A and B are shown apart, each in its own frame.
Chain A
Amino acid sequence: MIYNAQNTKNYAKDEPQKEIHCDVVIIGSGAGGGITAEVLARSGLRVIIVEEGPLRTSKDFKMQEKQAYADLYHEVAGRQTLDKGIQILQGRNVGGSTTVNWTSSFRTPKQTLDYWQEQFSIKGLSQEDLSPWFSWVEKRLNISAWQVPPNKNNQALADGAKKLKWSFGVISRNVNGCANLGYCGMGCPINAKQSMLVTTIPTAIKDGANLITRARAESLILKEKKVEGVWLSSMNEKGQIKQKNVTKIIARKVVLSAGAIGSPSIMLRSNAPDPFNTLGKRTFLHPVTASIAKMEDKVDAFYGAPQSTYSDEFLWRDGVSGELGYKMEVPPMHPVISSTLLINHGKRHAELMKDFAFYQANLALLRDGFHQDSIGGQVLLDNNGYPQLDYQISETLWRGMRSALLSMTELQFAAGAKSVLPLHMDATFNSTWAETKSQIENLSTKKLRWQTMSAHVMGGCGMGSDEKNSVVNSSGKHHQLDNLLVIDGSLFPTSLGVNPQLTIYSIAVKLASHLAVEMNGQLPEDLINL
């Protein structure tokens, strides 16, 4: 165990230090912050990592939803958009969402990177530019195509796609010694998942970095056009503010890696300059719509690697910026998350739950941010300075979600489903594709009826060469403030079309390496020549 009292402070219990000096303070320990911490610490820079959530490790991971959602997720895994139309799953702990994600790893599609270059004049992030960085991350986090046969939940997706002659593939995963348990979303109990918790942050600590948990970055310390540091507030064990502004961190550089809701909110709380009104805008979610199939035999969708197959048949169905395309995958199903998604009560709910082990679920994540009507959401602050996301679903997005439900349910019947339920409060199980199709065609596009979710929050501090439509440049540097960088998923000017972790890691290692050189750090050999 690398984490100890010398290198890790828990502000819920430990006495905060009044003032800390360092080279770089990194706010957030997820995909962006974890990688950045490793690169900078290995380059000999003095790094402080600040994390709002708790430090939990494999000995705490009991494969119990009750404990995991409360401990490891934002808002007990029930974060919602402002109008409560979309439920957001986001990690909040040392390792961020990488501690609880389902390990799916995809390189950023070429179409997405080309679009960024064309529309936002982003430099240095073409597929060719990123290729060596992808390879570095894949090696570092042991990412490779999953060799074990998929569980029945994933097998059904492959079976259905095959029958319909749709494209499908095997997912690459960041695991080492995976026992195929199926509880990635509750923290890996055997440290097989190569999350930031067990890879980059321990390395950074070994190279001298310090970690502060249960601490929120309250605001940036601004002096004219310069950022001098950050004020931290302490949090209690319930994740509520204990005391404001207990620590002042003075740093040569401040890196925001607090995720696409967190990073913009820190700038908003600091009244950071925003001359073109771009901060916190264009926040994307890969909005997810889902359907549940009742199969002949038990599926036991709670066991086995949660995601191992996918279909991109419709991801680019109308070109890059046409009708919204979608990626099809499956979610794992456990009692709490499933019972709360079946929004009914009494006998109707009981009937639905009795078949729980026979359910196969499909999800489609919509590629938002490319179509001209798909402008994403906006991060705002509530009266307590806490962030909330306003995300309105456009007609274009509704059309995409309806099309996605049609595709998924067609696939499920092709895979042998006895009946299928589109996840919508007005929908019912139907036993033929024709009935299901007709029901989906008539489902109302109301935000509270159509059950929409997200596990991929992106954007809000978009990068670009023109400060009129971006917050930071292609190196992650803030357009107006010196010494401030953003390195996390909030950099993306659109969504990706794939699960985001590998994109965040790869862009982070590239930007952090440049930063290390710029700060006269000694970049380690494996990174020098990339």
Chain B
Amino acid sequence: MNRRKFIRNMISASVLSLGGISAYQYYQQTLLAPAQKDDFDYQFLNEQDRILIEVLIPVFIADMPFQKPIQSTLIANNIDLAISLLPERTQEELRELFNLLGSAFGRLVFANVWLNWQSASSQTIDEFLADWRESSFDLLQVAYKGLHKIIIGSIYSEENTWSAIGYSGPPLLSGTEL
């Protein structure tokens, strides 16, 4: 049994004793619906990471009146491409962050999300993000800022977010290419 499974099982045991739901029910609820499929050749993000991103996007943007709904696969593509350009050291740090959030232990202890990301309410996720933003632990603040930067940056790089913020995009150039 690897460490993650061990921790996960430990958590399951404590959930059972506290929550009184059956082991089978718990097991069922921790299963995730698969991430949205696309043809992108992901270099860094695994399916678990992409599920997390899908869940975080609507919480980050809240009620922004974008032209078209944000397509989460496109944002995941942007994030994956950006991360693949970062130095190895930074990629390793982001890997740890995603792994932590993907683990039952991390999800529960650091984000206070009990079952799985997809079943967590927007409010729960919004609160966990706010807790990290204000955390007295530098590590969690850094994690918040890291998530913020890759998700928000990837969203606002898309043209269909611009009209909502009063930006008409770059001017059209005609035949000035040298």
Contacts and interface: CB of A to CB of B under 8 A. Distances in A.
Q: Do A and B bind each other?
A: yes
Interface of A: 58-59, 62-66, 70, 75-76, 78, 84, 179, 181, 183, 189-191, 238-240, 298, 302-303, 334-336, 338-340, 343-347, 349-350, 353-354, 356-358, 382-384, 386, 388, 425, 448
Contacts of B177: 58-59, 189-190
A236 B42 CA distance: 17
Nearest to A342: B152
23 contacts: A58-B177, A58-B178, A63-B170, A65-B157, A75-B90, A179-B176, A181-B170, A189-B177, A190-B176, A240-B88, A298-B166, A335-B156, A335-B161, A340-B156, A343-B145, A345-B62, A346-B59, A346-B60, A347-B63, A353-B164, A356-B167, A384-B89, A386-B87
A190 B86 CA distance: 29
A346 B85 contact: no
Interface of B: 43, 59-64, 78, 81-82, 84-90, 126, 129-130, 133, 138, 141-142, 145, 148-149, 152-153, 155-158, 161-162, 164-167, 170-171, 173, 176-178
Contacts of B59: 345-346
Contact of B167 (A84, A189, A335, A345): A335
B87 A343 contact: no
Nearest to B158: A66
A351 to B, nearest CB: 9
Contact of A357 (B63, B85, B166): B166
Given A70-B82, A84-B145, A386 B89 contact: yes
Contacts of A302: 167
A63 B176 CA distance: 14
Contacts of A335: 156-157, 161-162, 165, 167
A382 B89 contact: yes
B133 A344 contact: yes
A488 B63 CA distance: 47
A352 to B, nearest CB: 10
B87 A356 contact: no
Contact of A383 (B89, B129, B161, B178): B89
Q: Which 6 A-B pairs have the closest CB atoms?
A: A357-B166, A63-B170, A66-B157, A356-B165, A339-B156, A335-B156
A67 B6 CA distance: 43
Contact of A350 (B63, B86, B90, B149): B63
Contacts of A240: 88
A110 B145 CA distance: 40
B88 A448 contact: no
Contact of A336 (B153, B170, B173): B153
Contacts of B82: 70, 76
B129 A346 contact: yes
Nearest to A338: B156
Contacts of B90: 75
A84 B130 CA distance: 19
Contacts of A84: 142, 145
Given A64-B170, A340-B153, A70 B81 contact: yes
A386 B92 CA distance: 13
Given A84-B145, A190-B173, A349-B62, 15 more contacts: A75-B85, A189-B176, A239-B85, A334-B167, A335-B165, A336-B153, A340-B149, A345-B129, A349-B61, A349-B152, A350-B62, A356-B165, A357-B167, A382-B87, A448-B141
B85 A70 contact: yes
A212 B149 CA distance: 33
Nearest to B171: A181
A181 B60 CA distance: 31
Contacts of B167: 302, 334-335, 356-357
A10 B164 CA distance: 41
Given A70-B82, A76-B85, A384-B88, A343 B155 contact: no
B40 to A, nearest CB: 15
A75 B88 contact: no
B62 A346 contact: yes
Contacts of B178: 58, 190-191
A335 B155 CA distance: 9
Contact of A75 (B86, B164, B173): B86
A340 B148 contact: yes
Contacts of A344: 133, 148
Nearest to B135: A448
Contacts of A339: 152-153, 155-156
A302 B89 CA distance: 33
Contacts of B161: 335
B149 A78 contact: yes
A386 B87 CA distance: 8
A72 to B, nearest CB: 11
A467 B83 CA distance: 41
A425 B133 contact: yes
A358 B166 CA distance: 9
Contacts of B156: 335-336, 338-340, 353
Contact of B165 (A58, A59, A189, A357): A357
Nearest to B78: A66
Nearest to B165: A356
Given A78-B149, A190-B176, A335-B156, A347 B78 contact: no
A353 B64 CA distance: 9
Contacts of A349: 60-62, 152
A159 B63 CA distance: 36
Nearest to B173: A189
B157 A75 contact: no
Given A58-B178, A63-B170, A346-B62, A354 B85 contact: no
